Amino acid sequence: MVRTVSPDVAVLSDCRPSNYIGLVADLREDGYVWATGTNQGNFTGILVASKVPIYPGPTASTVLPGQWCHVEIPSVRLSVVGVYGPLHRKGVASPVQAFWNDLLDSARRLSSEPTIVVGDLNTVMAPQDTTSGLLMPGSKELQRLAADGWRDVFREIHGDRPEHSYWEARGKYRIDYAMRSPAAPTARHAEYIREAAGYSLGKWSSEPKATLASDHAALLLDIA
């Protein structure tokens, strides 16, 4: 799917350690010479692969380092912070509030820099972003990020058009976001991709022979 879409930079959220090394090797063969991320977590991680040089950025999560990867792209004067927002897990102390505190604190420091925060945030910004009616942890914090001047890239282009990136029995959700800092350039294009290279993305198919690359749609941006 990445080969077909061929973005300059690919951010793979929820990239598990068991897949990380093989994906990096395969992507490098396809021109993604620069790759970094997190593969030390016991559940999830981030992989950032790029066709242009990338370097480690200055921010990190104090509570979930395996779910945060900041890179700088000097050729376009842009930072990308790939994140995977946590959910409450039964029997485990919730890291949700601490993660969002990290994100809001980093966003304040990055607001004057051209920066994109992108990934599966596991929350929704507004009522039109879900059909479930469920309260989701992190929603108020995501709204606070927007109130601080960070822009939802998809909504800047498409307004209130209904769109979702994840489906389950209880409803549909737009939980995969790209948020740009006040200093970042306005995007020229933003879309959720549900099919590429013969793979389905974003919804489990009822067809027994369907090939599913991810249960989330991919978000494609043209921003630099």
Domain boundaries, the chain: 54-222
Q: Note the pLDDT tens digit of each residue in 14-28.
A: 888 888 899 999 999
Mean pLDDT of the chain: 91
| Stretch 54-59: mean pLDDT | 97
Give the pair of three-digit tokens for residue 188.
Answer: 């020229």
Q: Are 222 and 189 in contact (CB under 8 A)?
A: yes
Over residues 163-183, the pLDDT tens digits come to: 999 988 889 999 999 999 999
What letters, b where the CB count within 10 A reaches 16 and e where it falls short, cover 92-131?
eeebbeebbebbeebbeebbebbbbbbbbbbbbbeeebbe
Quote the pLDDT of residue 210. 66
Superfamily holding 54-222: Endonuclease/exonuclease/phosphatase (3.60.10.10)
Q: Which two tokens mark 88?
A: 């409450």
Whether the per-residue pLDDT at 47 is higher than 90: the answer is yes
